[in-house]
Amino acid sequence: MLRYSLMRLGLFAACFLVIWGLVYVRVLPSGLGDSNLLWVMLLALVISAPLSFVMLRGAREAASVQVSARVERTRANLAASASQEDEADDAARAATQGS
């Protein structure tokens, strides 16, 4: 999961640098007034999102498998814990009813 997040961040940074360079050489328009940085960040976000969807498909699927395995382990642990609590509760009730 960390690998995928770092790859997304890297892709965003690469898009930011490319767009900033294009704005600097005036191929793309700059923002209004002091909003140039915000404009470049927004444009980099809009461009990097579909690029990451296409380019990082394998890493995203690997992260998805990792997350779903972790969720299944957590569910199994919770179920085991709940069954232990149920057994202890049943034993305590049986002990109090038998007395």
The angle, 0 to 180 degrees and rounded to 10, between the axes of the packed helices 36-55 and 2-24 is: 130
Model pTM score:
0.66
**CB neighbours of residue 18 within 10 Å:** 16
7-60: pLDDT as tens digits: 999 999 999 999 999 988 888 887 767 678 898 999 999 999 999 999 999 998
d(CA 29, CA 61): 36
Region 70-80: mean pLDDT is: 88
